[in-house]
């Protein structure tokens, strides 16, 4: 075959026919084709992994961002109400003001990013590891949580409301709001 000197023989013998003399001889150097094929295969594999990683990392970020934002916003709302109460504490008796400031300090420790998103509540793959109640079918919720209501689907607000620290501080803040006759629906 006239192209064997370019592409090599089918049997990979690295022997070609001398067209002028009709004799056969071995190449003096090894072919670069296997090495180049391996390099291109490896480069293609790496490019494929990098592209897939980028797509899955982005999808994971997109999912995690919404949930993290919902949880963070809820923690911020709870801290904001306590900060408002602590600011109003200047008008309260000192013992009551100290109690409210103590609640705020404790809430800041427990609702910080490291605590809320720590290993105690989250698995390495980003899923929550705390107990989560099954959604209940029924009429849509009208509360501030904006949860799933009757749809049966779990939404970010449901996951945030089930977080143990947010549940704890939601109860504390609601009790404090009731104590000072704060209309929670206005907040």
Query: Mind listing the pLDDT tens digit for each residue in 56-100?
Result: 566 666 668 889 999 999 999 999 999 999 999 889 999 999 999
Domains of the chain by residue range: 67-186
Query: Mind listing the pLDDT tens digit for each residue in 123-155?
Result: 888 888 998 877 666 555 444 444 555 567 888
In 92-155, which ranges are E strands?
none
Single pTM value for the model: 0.62
- Using CA atoms, how far apart are residues 141 and 144, in angstroms rounded to an integer? 9
């Amino acid at each position: 075959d006239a192209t064997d000197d370019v592409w090599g023989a089918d049997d990979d013998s690295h022997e070609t026919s001398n067209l002028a003399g009709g004799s056969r001889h071995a190449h003096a150097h090894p072919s670069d084709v296997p090495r180049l094929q391996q390099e291109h295969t490896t480069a293609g594999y790496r490019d494929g992994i990098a592209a897939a990683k980028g797509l899955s990392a982005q999808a994971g970020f997109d999912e995690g961002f919404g949930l993290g934002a919902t949880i963070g916003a809820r923690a911020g709302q709870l801290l904001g109400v306590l900060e408002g109460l602590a600011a109003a504490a200047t008008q309260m008796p000192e013992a009551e003001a100290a109690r409210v400031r103590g609640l705020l300090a404790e809430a800041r420790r427990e609702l910080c990013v490291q605590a809320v998103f720590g290993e105690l509540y989250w698995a390495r793959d980003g899923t929550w590891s705390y107990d989560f109640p099954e959604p209940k079918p029924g009429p849509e919720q009208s509360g501030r949580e904006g949860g799933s209501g009757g749809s049966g689907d779990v939404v970010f607000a449901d996951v945030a409301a089930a977080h143990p620290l947010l549940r704890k501080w939601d109860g504390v803040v609601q009790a404090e709001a009731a104590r000072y006759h704060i209309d929670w629906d206005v907040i």
